[in-house]
Amino acid sequence: MKFSAQQIADVLQGSVDGDPQVEISTISKIEEGQSGSLSFLANPKYTQYIYTTEASAIIVAEDFVAEKEIKATLIRVPDAYNSFATLLAYYQNMIRKEKHGREQNVFVHPTAKVSDDIYLGAFAYVGENVKIGKNVKVYPHVYIGDNVEIGDNTVIYQGVKIYHDTKIGGNCTFHANVVIGSDGFGFAPQSENDFRKVPQVGNVVIEDKVEIGAGSTIDRATIGSTILRQGVKLDNLIQIAHNVVIGENTVIAAQSGVAGSTHIGKNCMIGGQVGIIGHLKIGDGVMIAAQSGIGNNVKDGEIIQGSPAFSVGDYRRSYVMFRKLPDLNQRVSSLEKKIQDQQKE
């Protein structure tokens, strides 16, 4: 399948700087571009490659100014990264075969209400009183428990398990082996080496446009609901504990964990391998650097790092001092020796 630079520019509502008829047949990273490929430049760290790449066309920002000659045709757009994402979605929809109908060995309980236009892959299970909206894609080996509700246009990839009473909005995506609604970690100490399980009788509520990466787990609430608000994006291998609430459009990178009853605000950005203890309040617009440990409430708009985490500016200044500790220790030891020598005289 081939496209001209002008056709791509038309899709992205951009303009062409160079040969509008140059043909594009594939997509590549800018540093690996070959003739016939399309790439993009959004991160300034990769600017050097725009002068050496063999890509035939490159998506760039409207205000990009070349410092020397570029062989490739440029497609200028307001936002190169967003435009490239739009193009990838457009390309994916063209090449991916749309799934429809019911494959063999599917179980749907007679009380379930399932739209006629959904896709149900082989060995999918749909329990009692389930409600599934229009154009939902349920891939093979998915389990959907009793009383689950799923909104329109949601995609549930293979191996996902959705426990009973979960409520899911529209236009969500759950990648392979996500588990939604498993029991929260609730055990009451009875005596030494003895714990009594606390029943987890709440549920999980996931609003519209939420995406959850492969292998992540969202625990059901002890009482009430664990809630992921509209637009939340979770990476792979993330643990969200019981009664956690995550605000609108917050994003969390891989291998992070949020303990029970913590509330995270909207528009937060949380790096990979971050650990957040329970019963905290994380404000709106907070940014947390990777591998940080959060043990206290965080105010709106704060940028924090470290374990335990604190202001990123203070953390960086402290880290400079930390790196100097061996030298400082050597200097102190030398001064102590001099003092001891003087005292002996």
Alpha helices (H) along the chain? 5-12, 80-95, 312-323, 325-344
Indicate the residue type of 22: V
How far is residue 39's CA from residue 22's CA, in Å, rounded to a whole number? 14
Options 175, 242, 263, 279, the catalytic residue: 242
| Pair of tokens at residue 339 | 């003092």
Using alpha carbons, select from 229, 221, 201, 217 the residue that is nearest to residue 257: 217
- Is 242 among the catalytic positions? yes
| Pair of tokens at residue 128 | 């009692």
- Looking at the DSSP bridge assignments, the partners of residue 227 are 205, 245
Which DSSP category does 331 fall into?
A: H
How far is residue 230's CA from residue 75's CA, in Å, rounded to a whole number? 33
| Pair of tokens at residue 127 | 């329990």
How far is residue 31's CA from residue 51's CA, in Å, rounded to a whole number? 10
Which DSSP category does 98 fall into?
A: P
How far is residue 251's CA from residue 300's CA, in Å, rounded to a whole number? 16
Give the active site residues.
Answer: 242
